[in-house]
């Protein structure tokens, strides 16, 4: 079973996406902040990260920087954002504008990237 870490501070958003991912057969952990996500990553491995850009404290890009440079983990990621971006970082699979896709479309993208039926 593929394992996903969802780093999202909006509880309603994370609850909806988590339930859709679980129904699709993924194991999902949720972190409500970048700092909490880093703590989880210290003891667990994941196949994919789904990261919100705007979060209080440590934002999404800072979190992803810490994952690679402090924890030395190379995990592909999907970025959830409110604003379109074309500035891709290494290992960022896609930037998804939250208002433009449904949770089911995000699940389809996750399945595609993780090569799951």
> CB neighbours of 45 closer than 8 A, spacing ≥ 6?
3, 73
Q: What percent of the chain has pLDDT over 70?
A: 93
Write the DSSP symbol of residue 98.
G
Task: Please give the average per-residue pLDDT across 65-92, as a whole number.
Answer: 82
* Closest to 60 (Cα-Cα) out of 82, 42, 40, 86: 82
Q: Which listed CATH number (3.40.50.300, 3.40.50.2300, 3.40.50.410, 1.10.1200.10) goes with 3-114?
A: 3.40.50.2300
Q: Which of 14-18, 58-62, 104-108 shows the lowest per-residue confidence on average (mean pLDDT)? A: 58-62
pLDDT at 30: 98
Q: Which of 2-6, 86-90, 107-111 shows the lowest per-residue confidence on average (mean pLDDT)? A: 86-90
Alpha carbon 25 to its chain's center? 16
- Give the tokens for residue 10: 């909006």
> Residue 36 forms beta bridges with which residues?
none
CA end-to-end span of the chain: 12
- Give the tokens for residue 112: 């595609």
Distance CA 82, CA 48 (A): 20
Q: Does residue 47 have a pLDDT over 60?
A: yes
Task: Please give the average per-residue pLDDT across 3-31, as a whole number.
Answer: 97
* Closest to 7 (Cα-Cα) out of 90, 66, 83: 66
pLDDT at 76: 94
More confident residue, 56 or 104: 104
């Amino acid at each position: 079973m593929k394992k996903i870490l969802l780093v999202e501070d909006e509880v309603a958003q994370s609850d909806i996406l988590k339930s859709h991912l679980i129904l699709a057969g993924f194991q999902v952990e949720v972190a409500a902040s970048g700092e909490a996500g880093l703590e989880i990553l210290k003891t667990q491995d994941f196949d994919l990260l789904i990261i919100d850009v705007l979060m209080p404290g440590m934002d999404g890009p800072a979190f992803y920087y810490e994952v690679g440079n402090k924890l030395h983990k190379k995990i592909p990621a999907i970025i959830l954002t409110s604003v379109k971006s074309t500035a891709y970082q290494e290992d960022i699979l896609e930037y998804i504008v939250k208002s433009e896709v449904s949770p089911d479309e995000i699940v389809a993208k996750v399945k595609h990237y993780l090569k799951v039926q």
